[in-house]
Amino acid sequence: MFKKIVAGLTVFVIIIAFNASAQKYELGLFAGTSGYKGDLSQFNYLRFTDPAFGLVFRTNFNPRNALKVSLTHGKVQANDATSGIPDQESRNLRFQSVINELSIQYEFNFFSLNPFIEDERFSPYLSAGISVFNFDPKAENGQRLQPLGTEGQGLAGNSDRYKLTDIAIPLGFGLKYRMNDRWNLFSELGYRFTFTDYIDDVSGYYVNLNSVPSTLTKTYADRSPEAGYPANLPGNQRGDLRKNDMYMFAVVGISFSFVSSHCPSF
């Protein structure tokens, strides 16, 4: 599904590029770091752990308004054992997951951008839109967690296993600087508000391990005994199902501006 969406939006971007009139468009690269906030990292909105990078295509309608399509690759992770929070240390869960995201966002520049006027080369901006992303939580040894049903997913009377492709609402704040009529620098801090609570494979309650046939599932469903703590009772809280997970990117990038042959400079 994710690959089909990527292919569809790629065609969309190409069509825009070849039919742009009265617009400037940009193609750029960016790199930075990615992070996550969820059941294993609840209190830090600026906890970035791993590299991230991607591509961006931007259509500038005028000096204040733009539309961008971006493809981003990153990774997120967290470990209860290093949280410094006693309840999490005794829970002793951990995960890592690659994040692949395709997003389309509207951008609003606070100031007009014009590379030929010195006072109009710089502007902060806000962005918002919609994203589709793919994730796949794994243990520290690479064991995939979603197929195991660590909270009883897939058992009779329980919910199905969660999907590994979902949507998110991206919100971002950034800075742009137009070096000249062709080259641009930008930086952005962006948060993704998702509709899943399973980026970290943790959401609800401990499953009754007697009803779980898989030894692997039993191992990764309750890891407290590994850290010397008692096993958790079935029905005890494992995560916070009231809140969905979120992930974020902090990046810097450079883009090259193309001008349509039909397009007067603005």
pLDDT digit string, tens, across residues 82-100: 998 999 999 999 999 999 9
**Alpha helices for the chain (secondary structure H):** 2-19, 86-91, 215-221
Please tell me the total count of domains within the chain: 1
Q: Identify whether 27 is part of a domain.
A: yes
Q: How confident is the chain (266 residues) per 10-residue block, as mean pLDDT?
A: 56 51 80 96 84 96 93 97 92 97 97 79 96 98 96 87 97 95 94 97 94 91 95 94 94 88 46
What pLDDT score does 255 carry? 97
| Of 171, 191, 177, residue with least CA distance to 254 | 177
Q: Identify whether 265 is part of a domain.
A: no
What pLDDT score does 132 carry? 98
What pLDDT score does 14 carry? 52
The H helix count followed by the E strand count for the chain is: 3, 8
Q: pLDDT over 70 for what percent of the chain?
A: 88
pLDDT digit string, tens, across residues 164-206: 999 999 999 999 999 988 899 999 999 999 999 999 999 999 9
246-259 and 24-37 beta bridge pairing = antiparallel
What pLDDT score does 47 carry? 84
Q: Identify whether 156 is part of a domain.
A: yes
What pLDDT score does 158 carry? 83
Alpha carbons 25 and 176: distance in angstroms, whole number: 14
Q: What is the CATH number of the domain that holds 94?
A: 2.40.160.20
Range of the domain at 51: 2-259
What pLDDT score does 12 carry? 54
Global pTM reads 0.86
Alpha carbons 235 and 198: distance in angstroms, whole number: 18
Q: Identify whether 264 is part of a domain.
A: no
Q: Identify whether 207 is part of a domain.
A: yes
What pLDDT score does 22 carry? 43
Alpha carbons 26 and 5: distance in angstroms, whole number: 21
Q: Identify whether 75 is part of a domain.
A: yes
Q: Identify whether 213 is part of a domain.
A: yes
